[in-house]
Amino acid sequence: MHLAPTTQDPALQMFDESLGLAPGRGRLQGRRIVVVGAGQRDIPETDPPVGNGRAISTLFAREGAQLVCIDSAQAAVQATCERIRAAGGVAHAEVADVRKKEDIAPLLQRCVAMLGGLDGLVLNVGISHGLPMHRLTADSWDDEYAVNVRSHMLFAQAALEVMAPGGSIVLMSSLASQRVSRNPAYESSKAAQVALMRAIAGAGERKGIRCNAVLPGLIDTPMGRDATRARPNRAVAVPFGRQGTGWEVAYATLFLISHESSYVNAHPLLVDGGLGVGVMRR
């Protein structure tokens, strides 16, 4: 009988896909996709990990999609687009503050004009003020909901008007939507995204447009590293002895945006290594 190795080395469970090293396979060839939240934050490290938005954008371009990448930080979104173009992909950059509700529909219309149509939309933008219940204010609550929920509704509303039949929308929620993490505005806004995802799926069904959500767990991104600096014991018992990578989030998003998931609709896909149901490294 062959027994599986019992080593604690996390690298045994990582692959080229986990590291963003796998070649493209044409899974999105000819698709026209907008990624909102395509940049990533700067952190005080010389070799930071890739963020979810940058990984998603880079992977989609590698798989043959043409992109418009949107972010609030010009340098960040330009860096994402430059990476894509250097690899031979097509990406246009747009800078926007999604808090400005009146700008969202015209912005999406510009994106559609640049791409010549719309086949997919990824809503990755999100913020967290990290305030516990006793420190929440009406203004901080409204700000998180404006970015994390209202902007998603407005982008989806505009997209449903112009997206080609058979298109796909993906919202980036979080494992935090499923459990207590002492961050109520973030937790509840991420849970609201899951409910909104179901509503979008219902609204898009007649046109053949699907909507799903990705719920990352503890992922090694710039945002994740900032969270770990603030709470060093945050990721001590993660499954497989490691956090996930932005590339692993990107591949889950790729599946949901592609035609491979053509009968997957209104589904919250956890990308957490099983942490949400109690799988962890003891």
Name the residue among 139, 130, 151 with its Cα closest to residue 72. 151
pLDDT at 15: 96
Residue 30 has pLDDT above 50, yes or no: yes
Residue at 21 is within a domain: no
pLDDT at 9: 82
| H helix and E strand count, the chain | 9, 9
Residue 3 has pLDDT above 70, yes or no: no
Q: Exposed, middle or buried by CB within 10 Å (0-12, 13-18, 19+), for 118?
A: buried
Average pLDDT for residues 165-184, to the nearest whole number? 94
Residue 260 has pLDDT above 80, yes or no: yes
Instruction: Tell me the residue ranges of DSSP E strands in the chain.
Output: 32-36, 66-71, 90-95, 120-123, 168-172, 210-216, 219-220, 244-245, 268-271
d(CA 213, CA 277): 18
Residue at 80 is within a domain: yes
d(CA 52, CA 275): 19
Task: State the residue range of the domain holding 41.
Answer: 28-217+245-272
Average pLDDT for residues 162-171, to the nearest whole number? 98
Q: Report residue 224's pLDDT band, with 50, 70 and 90 as the boundaries.
A: confident
Please give the positions annotated as active site.
186
Q: Which two tokens stand for residue 138?
A: 């009406």
> 93 versus 226: which is more confidently predicted?
93
Q: What letter represents residue 184's amino acid?
A: P
Task: Give the containing element (helix H, strand E) for 60.
Answer: helix 52-62
d(CA 146, CA 140): 10
Residue at 234 is within a domain: no
The domain total for the chain is: 1
pLDDT at 4: 46
Average pLDDT for residues 156-166, to the nearest whole number? 98
Lowest-confidence pick of 70-74, 126-130, 220-224, 269-273: 220-224
Residue at 105 is within a domain: yes
Task: Identify the CATH number of the domain in which residue 159 sits.
Answer: 3.40.50.720
Residue 7 has pLDDT above 90, yes or no: no
d(CA 151, CA 98): 6
Asked if 190 and 148 count as a contact pair (C-beta separation under 8 A), the reply is yes
Residue at 3 is within a domain: no
Residue 282 has pLDDT above 80, yes or no: no
Residue at 282 is within a domain: no
Residues 79-117: tens digit of each pLDDT: 999 999 999 999 999 999 999 999 999 999 999 999 999
Average pLDDT for residues 165-175, to the nearest whole number? 98
Instruction: Tell me the residue ranges of DSSP E strands in 153-262.
Output: 168-172, 210-216, 219-220, 244-245
Residue at 48 is within a domain: yes
Residue at 20 is within a domain: no
> 30 versus 3: which is more confidently predicted?
30
d(CA 130, CA 106): 31
Q: Are strands 66-71 and 120-123 parallel, antiparallel or unpaired?
A: unpaired
d(CA 25, CA 44): 34
